[in-house]
A and B are shown apart, each in its own frame.
Chain A
Amino acid sequence: MSAQLAAYSTSTGEAFQFWVLGTVAVLGALSTVFMKRAVHSALSLAGTMIVLAVFYLANGAYFLGIVQIVVYTGAIMMLFLFVVMLVGVTAADSLKETIKGQRWLALLCGVGFGVLLLAGIANASLKDFEGIGQANANGNVEGLAALIFTKYVFAFEITGALLITAAVGAMVLTHRERTERAKTQRELSEERVRAGKHVPPLPAPGVYARHNAVDVAGLLPDGTPSELTVSKTLRDRGQVRDVSAEALSDLRALEQRAEERLERTEIDSAPFKRTEEASK
C-alpha cells in the first residue's frame, strides 16, 4: 500500500471490485433476510461475509480480512449451520403474520432508518482520506499488535475474561446433568411388565393401512389411526401422516362407482343419457 491510497479517490481496479462485490454483498444480505429456509439464509450470509473480508483487505486491514474469513465464515457460520441442523429443519418458519401489518410497518421502519443513515453520511464532511499507507508502514499485524498490547491492553485482558465466560456459559446452557444412572434394558422390561401396559413391542407403522412409510400410522380395525405405531419423535414434531381419510374416501368412491354401475343396469341407463346430453 503506497501513498496512493491517501488520494481522495481509489484506483479503477478497486472501484470495479467495489461495485461488483458490493452488489454481491447487498444481494447476499437481502437473501439472508428473505430466504424461507434458515440454511439458505446462513449460506448467503457466509457469502456476504467473504465479500466483506475482501473489502477489509482492499482497505488495508490485512489482519482483519484473514480473521474475518477464519472466525466468521469458518467458525461462526459453521456453528450456525450446526444449530440449523439441530433445530431449524423441523422448525419451519410459519409465514403467517401474528401481528397484522407488522411486516409492512417493519419494512417502512427499515427504509426510514436507511434513509436517515445514508443522509447522515452524505451530510457529514468526509472529504479527506489520509490513507492507511503510513500506519501500515511497519506491517499491519505489527501495528495492530503495538496498539493492542499498549493502548488497548486492558480491553484485551477483559476480552479474554469474556471469552472464558462465554465458553463456560455455553456449556452450562447446553449441558444436561444426568442425576441418576441410566436404566438397563432388563430393568425397563421389568418395569413395563409390572406396570402392565403394553408389554409386547410396539406395532409397526402402516401395517394395517395401505402405506408402509414410517410416518403413516397403522390403522386399527375400525379405520382410525393408532398413535402407538409411529415413533415418538415424529409424533412430537407433528409429522404423522394420516391416510385413514384417504382410504375411506377411496372406499366411498369405489362404492359410488359400483352403485352407478348397478343403477345403470337396473334403470336402463336413463341418467347416463342425461349426462351425455349435458356433456354435449
Chain B
Amino acid sequence: MNPVNYLYLAALLFTIGATGVLIRRNAIVVFMCIELMLNACNLAFVTFSRMHGNLDGQVIAFFTMVVAAAEVVVGLAIIVSLFRSRHSASVDDASLMKL
C-alpha cells in the first residue's frame, strides 16, 4: 500500500465534514463536522510529515489541535448562550438580521 492512501482518506473525511456543515442545521452537529474537517487536516499533516521525513508537519498538527481545543470551548459557549436566549440550537432560527 502506498502511504498516499492516507491523503485520500483525509480528503474523503474532509469532504464528508464539509457536506455535513452544508446539510445539517443543528448547530452542535455542524460544529462536530467542523471538528471532523480539522481532524482530516491533521491526518494530512501527519502523512506529509512522514513523506518529507521531518517533524514540521507534526508540529503544525499539534498547533491545530490546540487551536481546535480553544475553538471548541468558545464555540460551545456561544451555542449554549444562543440556546439560552432563543431556546433552540438550530442555525436557521438565528435570522434576526434577515430582511
Q: Is B28 a contact of A87 with CB atoms below 8 Å?
A: yes
Smallest CB separation, B95 vs chain A (Å): 9
Q: Is A114 a contact of B15 with CB atoms below 8 Å?
A: yes
Binary flags per residue of B60-99, CB closer than 8 Å to A gives 1, else 0: 0111011111111110111111010001111010000000
Smallest CB separation, A17 vs chain B (Å): 10
Q: Which of A25, A103, A167 has the most CB of B within 10 A?
A: A25
Query: A72's contact among B49, B65, B83, by CB below 8 Å, is which?
Result: B65
Q: Is B9 a contact of A22 with CB atoms below 8 Å?
A: yes
Q: Is B80 a contact of A87 with CB atoms below 8 Å?
A: yes
Tell me, yes or no, whether A83 is within 8 Å of chain B by CB.
yes
A32-B20, A59-B46, A132-B49 known; A80-B76 Cβ under 8 A? yes
Alpha-carbon gap, A103 to B19, bound state (A): 9
Q: Which residues of B contact A195 (CB under 8 A)?
A: none
Q: Which residues of B contact A163 (CB under 8 A)?
A: 66, 69-70
A interface, size bucket: 35 or more
Tell me, yes or no, whether A271 is within 8 Å of chain B by CB.
no
Binary flags per residue of B22-59, CB closer than 8 Å to A gives 1, else 0: 11111011011101100100110011011111111011
Query: A68's contact among B16, B65, B88, by CB below 8 Å, is which?
Result: B65
Q: Is B4 a contact of A126 with CB atoms below 8 Å?
A: yes
Tell me, yes or no, whether A10 is within 8 Å of chain B by CB.
yes
Q: Is B67 a contact of A162 with CB atoms below 8 Å?
A: yes
Q: Which residues of A contact B20 (CB under 8 A)?
A: 32-33
- What residue in chain B is nearest A103 (Cβ atoms)? B23
Q: Is A80 a contact of B15 with CB atoms below 8 Å?
A: no
Binary flags per residue of A31-57, CB closer than 8 Å to B gives 1, else 0: 011000010011001001100100110
Q: Which residues of A contact B78 (CB under 8 A)?
A: 173
Tell me, yes or no, whether A278 is within 8 Å of chain B by CB.
no
Q: Is A71 a contact of B69 with CB atoms below 8 Å?
A: yes
Q: What are 7 residue pairs bridging A and B, where the CB atoms are less than 8 Å apart in the complex? A: A32-B36, A56-B42, A83-B80, A106-B22, A110-B18, A114-B15, A162-B66
Name B's A-contacting residues (CB within 8 A).
1-9, 11-20, 22-26, 28-29, 31-33, 35-36, 39, 42-43, 46-47, 49-56, 58-59, 61-63, 65-74, 76-81, 83, 87-90, 92
Having A15-B1, A88-B26, one finds 9 other A-B pairs with CB under 8 Å, namely: A18-B9, A22-B5, A41-B29, A48-B36, A68-B42, A87-B83, A94-B90, A106-B22, A117-B11
